[in-house]
Structure formats: structure tokens, C-alpha cells
Structure 1
Amino acid sequence: MKVKEFPASLYQSLRLRYGIRFGQRSDSKPEVPVIVSLTTIESRLEVVDLVIRSLLSQSVAPRKILLWIHESLLENLPSKLTSLQNEIFEIRTTPLHCSHKKLIHSLEAFPSERIITCDDDLMYRPQWLRRLYEESERYPQAVIGNQTRTIRTDAQGNFMPYEQWPVDLQGQDASPWVLPIGAEGVLYPPGSLNPLYSRDDLFLKLAPKADDLWFKSMSLLNGTVCRRASNCGKKGIPIMGSQKFSLKHENIKKDLNSVQWGRLVDHFDLRKYLSHE
């Protein structure tokens, strides 16, 4: 987290915790037919309520907000999180430790719904959900990400290191080469992923720390278009103290994303699903 982000983070944290009351579903707020799904880890239990509060404060209401936690954490949840449970927000448990649980269980529970995943270290802007929903109305068959990378190969056709894949590349809104990044939110329409998406024996072997790459592979196998949202709005506000442990930093430092992408490419022969336009 950058120093310049501290004031906004502090202000928004105080506003969400002490400036807004959260109760049952508001009849005055329009509902959109989506499920918002996320997960968290033990080190973020004291701050993840801020994410939930930002989701409950959206200008439109989702049908459900599901927080998936490992079953061992159920007895350690702070009251500032559990007290937020209502008709919309629900905490569910899973035996999985990996980040893939933020999507796979919700896909199984709500196979006919659009599902939006988000991260547990950002407070999302009030128009975040509305914007993603409106984009999905324009492109109902596409996986849509507010943040993306573009997969790149060199002159010999070899995949370049993950860190050399451009972020939010302009002029390539929809392409087999677009990789949606989970942090700022990704919307998955029903049936957009190959049925193998829930095979934990495969994703724990091939991409145990790269759920974005796993789900991208599943969209490729299913022939689903991925695109960057054209109406992203402002980025989410980082939560102070939430970055003590981050898969992003670990994957980048050790270039684990490149390693895991290579495994996925070889196992599923993904090259045949990628074509230059």
C-alpha cells in the first residue's frame, strides 16, 4: 500500500465502520441478479468486515454476498463481521485453504446466476457493482474484469514471463489473450467455465496459488470470451494492514505465476485455444 493512499483508506474505514448503519435488505435499493463471492484468510479477519460493508453500501443490491472461509476459522470470527449477516450477506465454510474457493463453491451453489468475485483487501466504490452489472448486460456471454493483463509471447511463440504481460492494455477489450485479474472484480456469466473448474486435484497440482490463471484456463477450454470492462470507474481503496501476507507479492517475487501458467498450458494444451487476431 502506498503512503499517499493512507488518508483515503483511513477515512473510508472510519466511514464504513461508524458512519453507516447496516440492517436488513432495503426495499428502496434496486436489486441486480448477481452473486458477489469472496474469501479471506485468518490474518485478515479483523479487516474483512470493511470489504463486506463496502459491498453492502453499493448503490444497487446483489442477491447474495457470500464469504467463504476455511472451516477452522468459524469459531474465531469477530463480532464486527458476524453482526453484518443478514438476508444478503452470508458466511459459509469450506475445507479448502486455497483462494480458488472464492468462486468454485458459489458456481456450484448458484449455477444459473452471474457471479462476481472480489478481493478481501479493498473497499469497493459505491458504483462498482452497478457498473459491472451494466457491462454484463452489454456483453452477457463474456467474462468481464475491471483489471486485466494481456498474455504475451515472444517472436518464437514462447510465453513471456507473467510480469511482462501488459496491464489494462488499450484497444484489446475482448480477446482470447485477455486475462481477468480478480482484485478489482471479475464477473462470470452462467456456464462460462469448463466443468473441470471444480477439480481440486487438478488446480492444487497445476495452479495452487494462481486462481486467476486457473479460471482463465477454464474459460479458454469452454471457448468463453474474456474482456476488460469499459466502464471501470475508480479503483478500490486498499485497507491498511491487509497486505502483511499477499499471494500477489509471493507469486511475483518468485515468478510463480509464470511457472503455474506453464503447467496449465502443457496440461491442457492451451496453445491451440489461443489465436492472434
Structure 2
Amino acid sequence: MTAKDDLKNVLKRFKPLYKACRYVRHPSVLKRRLDSWAYRWMLLLKGPSSLSDAGEPSGVTVSLTSYGKRLNIVHLTILSLMRQSVRPDRIVLWLDVEEGSGAVPGSLRKLEGYGLDIRYGCEDLKGHKKYFWALREFADSCVITIDDDVMYPADTVESLVAAHKHFPDAVVARRVNRMVSADGELVPYAEWEFEWHECDVPRDDLLATGVGGVLYPPRCFGDQAFDLDPIESTGLGNDDLWLKANEIIEGRKVAWAPCERMHPHEIAAEQDDGLSVLNVQGGGNDASIKAIERALGVSFASCVE
């Protein structure tokens, strides 16, 4: 066992104490945990609701991907989407070749009878899987992409559809970050304005972030958005940034979809946010932006006034 492993074991022992101290110092964190716990049990008690019973078609496809241990919790995400005030026409879950039908738990397979469409054998494009095939197969539909480790408030689809009706050519999202520049240069990603919500008018300088839910209008992108070579060469952990670059190419603006709760309900007590920390604080997103700009010949700074 290495010194690093020893340190991990020590930290694991102190985690309950750390969490208790955090709750005392920041009661809002405990409140979010309790809200999420209550929402989780409400979904489980109510159970799934068939998409075919939703009545009038919404014209919306919800698309997501999952992997590994998250396959044991993603049914909660999907349950929250089956209980929306405006239900999607379909929910499609894209799994790569390593996640065959034998790896899918019964809690998830059960939802196929209520309208969940599980697609197996996809190329492992990480987060890009949630849009890569859906935006082409359902090109005439609005596609909402979501994350697989949170539960969505009941107004998620309704708020995104309402924003789309106001701005049919824009990408709309419940969580957006505003890009910031200084002296004509884009500042580091960690210095952008996060969870910006000053107005709902479409803008060039907004980045739609996937965790809150993002709606892409029909035929949103050209063929270059699905070119695997630059997707893979610029890194597979940057799907939000890759799509923003293609929005720049298409001249497509982004709008914030007004909502009371931008943060979905967490499923796990401790979210796996290692990649997020690396991308934001570790400069991973800044490196991705430079790589995407070189590959596509675009400038993120050109979007900022």
C-alpha cells in the first residue's frame, strides 16, 4: 500500500465528521440533502408513468448516457423525467459497447415498459454520447440532453419548451455561464460568471451547461458537429464546449430558461465531481477551448462584447 492509499484511508475515516461539521456551518447544504432525499422517495413511491399516456405529443426527445456504477442510480433520473408536468415523447439512454444488456439492472430494464428506449453498442464518446446520435436520428424533434446522476424538478421539460417557443432558433438551458473577456482576450473559465440569470434574451456570450438540462432546436448543427476526428483529438470531456463552438459556427445564440431551481436534486450524498474540479479549477476547460478553437477555426472571445 502506498502513502497515497494510506492518506485516502485516513480521509475516509474523517469523512463523516467533515460532513457533520459542513452541515453545521452551512445548513443550506443539509437542506439540499434532505430535499433530495424526500424527492427521491416521492419518485419511488409514485413509480413510473408511461410516456404513451401523456396525451398530446410534446415534440421533445430526452437523451442521456450512463456507465458503470451510475447504471444503478440512473433509473431515478429517468423516473423524474417520466413525472414531468410536460412529458417528453421519448427518453433514449445511450450505452457503449462495454455496457451490454447484461450490465443493466432490473430497476432500469423495468422502465422500458413505460417508454424508455435503451440503445446498446455505441462508441464510447463519454459525455458526447448524450447528443451525438440523438441530434441526427431525431433531427426534426427538439432534443433535451440531461445528466445521469441527478433528479430533475417536475417543471424541467415545461420550462425548456416554454423558452423554446419564445426563441425557437436558440439553444435554451436552465443553467448557463456567461463568458468574460479582458482586453479582447477570454479570461480563464474559472473567472466566468456562473449560473448567470439576469435575463432570458438569447445571447452570444452564454454557455449552456448540461447538468440543468439543455434543449437543442430541430436541425441545430451542421455536419461538422459530428466529425469524430476533432471530437476525439480535442478531448472527450468537453461536450458543452464543443457544442458551444458549433453554435458559434452556426450563429446560434443561447438563452437562459427561467426557472426557480437551477440545481437538480442530487442522487448520491457525495457527487462525483472530480472531473468538474479538474476542468474548472485545474484549467482543463481552458485547454479544451484552445484545442477546439484550433481544430474548428473559431474564437470564443469573439462572442464576448
Does residue 31 (structure 1) correspond to residue 57 (structure 2)? The answer is yes
- Paired letter, 1:99: G
Instruction: Pick the structure with greater CA Rg.
Output: 2
Name the TM-score, length of structure 2 as normaliser: 0.83
Equivalent residues of 1:207, 1:261 under 8 A apart = no
Matches for 1:117-266 after TM superposition, within 5 Å = 117-155=145-183, 157-169=184-196, 170-171=198-199, 173-229=201-257, 231-234=258-261, 235-241=263-269, 243-244=271-272, 246-266=274-294
Matches of 2:35 and 2:291, distance apart in 1: 40
| Partner residue in 1 for 2:88 | 62
Residue ranges of structure 1 left out of the alignment (5+ in a row): none
| Partner residue in 2 for 1:269 | 297
- Paired letter, 2:252: T
Which is helix-richer, 1 or 2?
A: 2
Equivalent of residue 111 in structure 1, options 139, 142, 145: 139
Cα gap change, 1:83 to 1:246, in 2 (>3 Å) = farther
Matches of 2:253 and 2:272, distance apart in 1: 34
Q: Deviations over 1:53-103 (max 9, x none)?
A: 000011122111011111211221110011011353111121224110100
Of stretches 76-85 and 189-198 in structure 1, the one that deviates more from structure 2 is 189-198
Count of aligned pairs: 274
Equivalent residues of 1:207, 1:214 under 8 A apart = no
The alpha-carbon deviation at position 128 of structure 1 amounts to 1.1
Matches of 1:69 and 1:246, distance apart in 2: 22
Residue ranges of structure 2 left out of the alignment (5+ in a row): 1-18, 20-28
Matches of 1:215 and 1:25, distance apart in 2: 28
- Paired letter, 1:86: G
Does residue 90 (structure 1) correspond to residue 117 (structure 2)? The answer is yes
Q: Deviations over 1:3-39 (max 9, x none)?
A: 432211211222212x113253453654311100111
Cα gap change, 1:29 to 1:125, in 2 (>3 Å) = farther
- Paired letter, 1:195: D
Name the TM-score, length of structure 1 as normaliser: 0.91
- Paired letter, 1:182: G
Equivalent residues of 1:220, 1:273 under 8 A apart = no
Matches of 2:218 and 2:54, distance apart in 1: 28
Q: Deviations over 1:198-242 (max 9, x none)?
A: 11211111132110000111111111111111x223231111256
Q: Identity of aligned pairs, percent?
A: 26
